[in-house]
Each structure stands twice: as structure tokens, then as C-alpha cells.
Amino acid sequence: MAESGLPTKYWADAVQTTVYVRNLVPSSRQLHAIPAELWHGKRQDVSHLRPFGTTAYAHIPVDLNLSKLYPRSVKTVLLGYFGRNRYKLLDRETGLTFCSHDVIFEEGITHFTTQPTHTDTTNEDPFLITETIS
């Protein structure tokens, strides 16, 4: 929740997403079994999983008859899942949540809420080797 930078009113969505993901990973009670796999009787695909709060771009359908200059996607935040192929998304500008299956996620971009701290180099360890030997 802290990583996503979302307000605390989205705790219920965070918990719901946690439970959904938790059912798709092995449990400590049965290390070689996945709860959803035991329940459904078949192997579950986890390729659709993304971190909670990930930035996503949801496609705006062409049949809304918008002008040609109107954007074709809206920047959103992932709040959860509706099965394997639909996502619960939050539009931060309007505050509306909606469901979409045509989504592109920002991959490889970290969403850390804290900045890296500056390390003090005045009291360096004299025995620390900082050069590499080639």
C-alpha cells in the first residue's frame, strides 16, 4: 500500500488483491501445492499478475465516437483483478474505478515512495577496498 502511494481508502482493494494473489502461490502448509490449483483441479496461470498500484494504460474504445484527436488510452492505477483477464483500475484524475481487459502496464519502472539516502563518505572504513582489479 505504501509502495503504490494510494490513499488509505483503498485498503479494501489492497487486501482483496493480496488474497487473490495469495491463492495463486504455494502455501507454507503445503509447499508443493497451490490453493487455487487444489480448488479448481488444474494448473493456474499467473502471467497476468502485476504489482498492486502499478501504472497502467487502459484503452478507450473507438465506438464511443470521440474525435480523432482524443487520446486512445487513459493513465490508471491497478487496484485488483476480476478473474484472469480483467483488471480493476483507478483513474487518479477523476477518482473513478472501472474494469477493463485491454490494458498495457508500465513494465520495469520502479514505484518506490522513498528516495535513496545519501551515504556519508567522511568516515570511510580504511580497510574497505574500493578499487577493482582487472
Could you report the per-residue pLDDT of 20-39, keeping only the tens digit for each? 888 888 877 777 778 777 77
124 within a domain of the structure (yes/no): no
Q: Tell me, what CATH number does 64's domain have?
A: 2.30.30
User: Residue 19: CA atoms inside 13 Å, Cβ hemisphere, count?
Assistant: 6
Query: Coil, strand, or helix at residue 35?
Result: helix
Dihedral sign for Cα atoms in the order 120, 123, 125, 126 = positive
Q: How many domains does the chain have?
A: 1
| Domain of residue 45, residue span | 8-105
pLDDT at 12 over 50: yes
49 within a domain of the structure (yes/no): yes
Q: Return the higher-pLDDT residue of 8 and 113.
A: 8
Q: pTM for the full model? A: 0.67
21 within a domain of the structure (yes/no): yes
Per-residue pLDDT band at 45 (split at 50, 70, 90): confident
99 within a domain of the structure (yes/no): yes
DSSP state of 29: S
83 within a domain of the structure (yes/no): yes
Nearest to 58 by CA among 110, 111, 101, 10: 101
